[in-house]
Amino acid sequence: MYAGKAVNKPLEPADYDKLPFLNAVIKETLRLYTSIHTLTRHVNADEVIPLAYPVTLEDGSKTTTLPVQKGERLLLSFRTYNRQHQRADYSRLRAVWGDDAAEWNPNRFLDGRPINSSIGLFGNVMNFSSGVRSCLGWKFAVVEMQVVTALLVKTFETSAIPSAKVKMLPNQFFLMPVLEGKEDEGPQVHLQFKVID
């Protein structure tokens, strides 16, 4: 059985939502490896933005608001919201995702733990932004990920090539996995595929 259907029967788009582990894997992968890590917004009027958690400023003082002026540009980090960066103590993100915020753990979407925020469109991740200016194609993107992931898992057994060292290319607009020492060859991930009989 595959989402309540025989394995040889095709799934309808609504069937993919009935696959909780598949969706947990997709949500967790989006959370930890967001493809676009920053959103830019231009400030249209002077404003004071309230912050959910206090922030320590360079002079050591703390603030719970952020004043912005018309004409300034805001860079909003999806990556910072979605995960805890290893080089900094973003304890506020542990408050959202739990103490294992820096680890890949799809069970966080299955084990009933509370996720202490609700701003993302899918799985509470910010990959598609939020609110009235969110990504129009988010649902199509999610269905596409569900279909491709389900077909790959149903059709192939995959394993990483142990000798391949994959790293993320830094300072790019898109998150791009590259092979260490072969960065100039562009994005790639080395996997072995074996057809499931």
Q: 21 pLDDT exceeds 80?
A: yes
Counting the structural domains of the chain, the total is: 1
pLDDT at residue 45 in the model: 96
Q: 150 pLDDT exceeds 60?
A: yes
pLDDT at residue 90 in the model: 45
% of the chain beyond a pLDDT of 90: 30
C-alpha angle with apex 99: 94 to 105, nearest 5 degrees? 105
- How far is 107 from 2, CA to CA, in rounded Å? 20
The reply, when asked if residue 116 is annotated as ligand binding, is no
Is 5 within the bounds of a domain? no
pLDDT at residue 1 in the model: 45
Check if the beta carbon of residue 86 is closer than 8 Å to that of residue 5.
no
Alpha helices in 47-137 (DSSP H): 78-82, 91-97
Is 186 within the bounds of a domain? no
- Could you tell me the CATH number of the domain that includes residue 31? 1.10.630.10
Q: 172 pLDDT exceeds 80?
A: no
Is 8 within the bounds of a domain? no
Bridge partner list, 108 = none
At 18, list the tokens.
């009935």
CA distances from 16 to 20, 91, 148, 158 (A): 8, 34, 11, 21
Alpha helices in 14-83 (DSSP H): 20-32, 78-82
Structural domain harbouring 78: 13-160
Is 175 within the bounds of a domain? no
Q: 73 pLDDT exceeds 90?
A: yes
For 130-145, the pLDDT digits (tens) are: 778 888 899 999 999 9
pLDDT at residue 177 in the model: 82
Phi, psi of 187 (to 5 degrees): -65, 135
At 158, list the tokens.
């995959």
For residue 94, what are the contacts with CB-CB under 8 A and spacing of at least 6? 84, 101
For 78-107, the pLDDT digits (tens) are: 777 666 555 444 444 777 788 888 888 999
Is 197 within the bounds of a domain? no
Is 191 within the bounds of a domain? no
Q: 52 pLDDT exceeds 70?
A: yes
Is 150 within the bounds of a domain? yes
Q: At what angle do helices 138-155 and 20-32 cross, to 10 degrees?
A: 120
At 127, list the tokens.
């990959």
The pTM score is 0.77
The pLDDT of 13-30, averaged and rounded, is: 91
Return mean pLDDT, the chain.
82
Is 143 within the bounds of a domain? yes
- How far is 16 from 55, CA to CA, in rounded Å? 40
Of 40-49, 76-85, 100-109, 150-159, where does mean pLDDT reach its minimum? 76-85
